[in-house]
Every structure is written in C-alpha cells, then in structure tokens.
Amino acid sequence: MNHDLIIARYGEIGIKSPKIRSRFERKLVKNIKATFECDVERNQGRIYIHPEDFDEGVEKLNRVFGVVSYSPATSTHTTFEEIDETLTGYVKELASEGLIDENTKFAIKCRRVGKHDFTSQEMAAHCGGVVRNIVLAPVDLTNPDLTIFVEVREDDTYIFHEKIRGPGGLPLGTQGKVVVLLSSGIDSPVAAYLMMKRGCEVIALHCNNDPFSGPKVTENFNLLVDQLNKYASGNQIKRRVIDYGEYLTVAKTKAPEKMTCVLCKSGMYRIAEKLAVKLGADAIVDGSSVGQVASQTLSNILATRYGVEVPILSPLIGLDKEEITAIAKDIGTFEISKIDDGGCSAVPRYPETHADLERVKKACEEMNQDAEIERAFQKIRKLD
C-alpha cells in the first residue's frame, strides 16, 4: 500500500489532566523517536508519525508502551475532489492485493473533527459511492468484511483500513524507577515487562549463585535483558549483578538447611532495597505468584519481606503458570528462559513452606544476616 504516515492512538493518557497529559504525550513521542528514525507530530489526541523506513516503523511501534493502536494511513486534503482521487487509488490498491472484490462486504466509517460543510454521514455515503464505482462490492454496515476509515481533521483527511493493536499501558519512564529481581527463569522477565508497561524504568538485579549455579545463568540473564530492551527504547534497562554464593554458603551452614530458600529470598529483598536507595528507585519488583514454589507460599512471602521498607511489587501474584507463560511467549522471553542453565543446587531437599516469622528472625541472627548482606552488597557491579 502507498501509505505515507502512521497514525498512533493512546488510551488512558487521554483521561489525565491537561498538564499530565501533555507531559505523557511528550514522553511518548520521545520514546517513539528513540525506537526508529521518524518525524512526529501531535494533534488533538492523535500522533502522526512519518518514519524514514515505513516497514520498520510499523513493526517496531508495537513495542512502544502507551500506544494502544495504530494505522498505516494515506493522507490527502479535505476537498471532495482530492478525497475522491486518493480514495480511488487506495481502493484500487486494496483490490490488487485481493482485499476487496465484488463479494467483499464493506463499510465506510467517517470521523470528523473541525468545521466542514458536510456531516460525517454525508462524507461516509459519498466515499461509499466512490468505492462502488471501482468495485461493485455490497455495503454492510453491521458485519463488514472490510472497513475503510476516513478521518477528516480540519484541512487534512486520512484514509486507512487497519487498526493494529499496540502494547498499551503508559509511556516508559513516566512512573519512576524500580529494581527488578531478574533471574533466568520464566516469571521475573514477565514481571519486568508488566512494570515497564505501566511506565516504570527498570534496573535489573541478578544474583549470581556460583558455586551453586553455573555461568549459563548469567548468560541467560543478559539475553533476557537484551530481549526486554527491545521494549525499552529511550529508557534502556540498567544491569547490576551481585555475587551471592558466599551468602548462600553461610545460610546453609549456620542456619537450619530447610530455611535456605527463605533466607535466600529475604537476602535478595534486602540487597535490592539497598540498591533502590542508592539509585533512587521507588520499589522492588519480583516474579512471585502465590503458591508456585516453596518460597512463594503466602506465609513465606510475608516472612521473607519482613524488615524491608521499600515497597515490594509482585505483578504476577494472582496469575498461574499458563498465563505467565503465554505472556513470556508473546514478548519473546520464553525460549530464552527455557534454555537449561543447570538450576540452583542450594535448594534443600525439603524446603520450608510455612515459615514462622520468629523462626525466620532467629535464623537471620544465627547467620548474622546483616553482616553477610553488607559484605555481598559491597561487591555489586555493573554489567554491560
């Protein structure tokens, strides 16, 4: 199709106050420009995008949070003569691509903004006549096979037939920063994605459990961040890694072994809290789903978060594995997470599933958790 621009639409941004809406729009435009080379205009709830590479723009716009839907479109001036000429060419292209013929039920939907000497219904009827002059397709306004949209906005008119679903959400970078406990598994990358969708900039924290895990875990972590970064143009994910094996060794040898997973998760939260304070993040995020593994029973979730003052968000908390896996496949992290990384050998044979807070506090004292966390945190480092 001979399209010359993409029309992008947003959703909940439109219900914000004028000041907030303008700020969110500007951020959305900035993120679009960071995703692919283009010129962008804003006008009355629409974003008009003129990409240097049109196919790239259509493909990558689906990764920009805040975009609810978008349409490759052809523009013309708002006169009957020019609309007729442009629509005629547009329908002929649809016919050449097999998208409309004499058996295709079609409808024209006209939306109009501004003052004109015709109504939306009159323009729709006129355009329907133009289509019927090219191909004798039946009109069906109730259940059409093809809908052609004619959007008249002041002196410009836009013609399109597709509405491609975008990722929705809020523009990335409008809702502050979060530290995400990102492993190489299926869940935590999905949790990171969902927080990005809500506009949060992500700092990914990886705990390297060597010698209880192999180098593949860190490799997979990097691959997952690379994939998530496809949705993070203009707000690339920061990577931090911490050597966690020494902490786990102390936990296994100086506290009851069945408490290892509880102490492991507790330590991760407290290290993430330190990193959040250091980097100005507003919350910690993990991939917890109630009852999915030993550390995620409700009693263990409550016990492991004891003493952490920074909010801990778990966007997957009510989802089951099938729902989480479906999102992972959709965003391209599932196949990476399925790569065998050897797992973690620190997991005890019979892990604690109903941790009592007093026993957890006692175990923390036995291993001198405060000192071990501080020792581990001093070795935190960036990953490129």
**Angle 45-51-55 from CA coordinates, rounded to 5°:** 110
Question: What pLDDT is attached to residue 353?
Answer: 80
Q: Does 352 score more than 80 pLDDT?
A: no
> Are 204 and 264 in the same domain?
yes
* Same-domain status, 141 and 190: no
Q: What angle, rounded to 10 degrees, do the helices at 245-254 and 369-377 form? A: 170
Domain shared by 233 and 373, yes or no: yes
- Please state the φ and ψ torsions of residue 241, each to the nearest 5 degrees: -130, 145
Could you check whether the bond before residue 211 is cis, i.e. omega within 30 degrees of 0? yes
CATH code, domain with 366: 3.40.50.620
Q: Is residue 171 part of a domain?
A: no
211 with 351, same domain: the answer is yes
pLDDT, tens digit, 9 for 90 and up, residues 85-131: 999 999 999 999 999 999 999 999 999 999 999 999 999 999 999 99
Owning domain of residue 296: 177-382
Give yes or no: residues 184 and 159 share one domain: no
Contact 209, 242 (CB under 8 A): no
Reported confidence tier of residue 348, pLDDT bands at 50, 70, 90: confident
Same-domain status, 191 and 144: no
Determine, yes or no, domain membership for 170: no
Question: Which CATH number goes with the domain that contains 147?
Answer: 3.30.2130.30
Q: Tell me: pLDDT of 295 over 80.
A: no
- Last residue in a domain, options 140, 165, 190: 165
354 in a domain, yes or no? yes
For 27-73, the three-class secondary structure string (H helix, E strand, C coil) is: HHHHHHHHHCCEEEEEECCEEEEEECCHHHHHHHHHHCCCCCEEEEE
Question: According to the model, what pLDDT value does residue 238 have?
Answer: 96
Q: Are residues 300 and 210 in the same domain?
A: yes
Please tell me whether residues 337 and 191 are part of one structural domain: yes
Clarify whether residues 121 and 252 are in a common domain.
no
In degrees rounded to 5, what are phi and psi of residue 238?
-85, 140
Residue among 277, 327, 306 at smallest CA distance from 369: 306
- pLDDT: which is higher, 102 or 259: 102
For the ranges 162-166, 190-194, 299-303, the lowest mean pLDDT is seen at 299-303
pLDDT interval class at 324 (50, 70, 90)? very high
Per-residue pLDDT reduced to its tens digit, 124-151: 999 999 999 999 999 999 999 999 999 9
Same domain, yes or no: 246 and 285: yes
Query: Does residue 310 lie in a domain region?
Result: yes
For residue 225, being part of any structural domain is answered with: yes
For every residue of 147-204, DSSP letters joined together read EEEEEEETTEEEEE---EE---S--TTSS-EEEEE--SSSHHHHHHHHHHHTT-EEEE
C-beta of residue 171 within 8 angstroms of C-beta of residue 28: yes
Q: What is the pLDDT of residue 83?
A: 97
Could you tell me where the DSSP H helices lie in the chain? 18-35, 54-60, 80-96, 120-134, 187-197, 216-228, 245-254, 260-279, 298-304, 321-331, 334-337, 357-366, 369-377
Over 70: is that where the pLDDT of 280 sits?
A: yes
Q: Is 183 found in the same domain as 74?
A: no
pLDDT digits (tens, 9 = 90+) for 200-249: 999 999 998 888 887 888 999 999 999 999 999 889 999 999 999 899 99
What is the structure's pLDDT at 169? 96
213 falls within a domain:
yes
| Better-scored residue on pLDDT, 253 or 68 | 68
**100 neighbors 88 (Cβ within 8 angstroms):** no
Q: Residue 265's pLDDT is what?
A: 92
The pLDDT tens digits of the residues spanning 193-209 come to: 999 999 999 999 999 88
Does residue 326 surpass a pLDDT of 90? yes
Q: What is the mean pLDDT of residues 284-305?
A: 86
Phi first, then psi, for residue 284 (nearest 5°) are -110, 145
| Residues 136/142/144/150 CA torsion (nearest 10 deg) | 80
Amino acid at 107: A
With a cut of 70, say whether residue 294 has pLDDT above it: no
- 204 and 225 Cβ atoms separated by less than 8 Å: yes
Mean pLDDT, rounded, for 4-17? 93
pLDDT score of 43: 84
Phi-psi group of 44: left, alpha or beta (phi > 0 → left; psi -120 to 50 → alpha; rest → beta): left
> Considering the domain boundaries, does residue 159 fall inside one?
yes
Interval 51-73 mean pLDDT: 96
Is residue 292 over pLDDT 80? no
Q: Collect all residues with Cβ–Cβ distance below 8 Å to 365 and sequence separation of at least 6.
A: none
**How many domains would you assign to the chain?**
2
The 10s digit of each residue's pLDDT in 169-202 is 999 999 999 999 999 899 999 999 999 999 999 9
Model confidence at 359, pLDDT cuts 50, 70, 90, reads: confident
Which of 165, 194, 216 is where one domain is finished? 165
Chosen domain end from 142, 165, 188: 165
Domain match, 160 and 189 both: no
Instruction: Judge whether 172 lies within some domain.
Output: no
